[in-house]
Amino acid sequence: MSAIRTPCAATAAVLVLHGGSADSTEPVGPFSLAALRLLPVARAIARADRNAAVYRLRNAVKGWNGDGATVLADARAAVDAIAATHPDLPVVLVGHSLGGRVAVHLARSAGPDAAGPVVGVVGLAPWLEPGDPVEGLTRVPLAVVQGTNDRMIPTRSTEPWLDRAARAGVRLRRIVVDGGEHTMLRHYRRWHRDCVDGVRWVLATAAAAAAIPPGRAGSAGPRR
């Protein structure tokens, strides 16, 4: 895990998770395109909010590999490390593609009543299988940003899961980038802006649910 920005008086923390593939035990190298693709996203979040501690994770392996055990363990360890460095701060997970799936699975036990610091998720072109569970997400805001020209994970492929999540009471915010593709290179400024807006919405929604006094709120969002 690498730090993009770690302000002394941080009001929130953001962990950025990169994409990958369904099946691969190949290590993720420092020059992996999937990992590097999220560097501009992480920097955009850090620029937009100077009070947010922003971190970027590089997974041990490229694939989900059946049950996602390895990539989930990587993300869980990163969240624990952030919580140790920034006690009591809300953590937002931002995940692209496979990273979106990791974020959603990791957040299932999160929420204002849970012990963990994760308060919500921003999924960028997230990989969401129809059978993925939605239980445990009703208190976790989820912002989803997708592109109309995404051929790797078309918006229609995520509809079954998103519909189930909505029926289960998950608080969803859906944004579509017209002409956006899976790589997030085309219309990248729009992707970055919508991602930042998603982070802010997650923090505000989580704070409202937790009934945190407005006077404690920072520009990135309130403390928990």
CATH class of segment(s) 2-216: alpha beta
AA identity, residue 128: L
Residue at token pair 């993720």: 28
Per domain, the residue ranges of the chain are: 2-216
pLDDT tens for 40-70 read 999 999 999 999 999 999 999 999 999 999 9
pTM, whole model, 2 decimals?
0.91
Residue 176: exposed, middle, or buried by beta-carbon count in 10 A (0-12, 13-18, 19+)?
middle
Confidence of residue 214 (pLDDT cuts 50, 70, 90): very low
pLDDT tens for 182-212 read 999 999 999 999 999 999 999 999 999 876 4
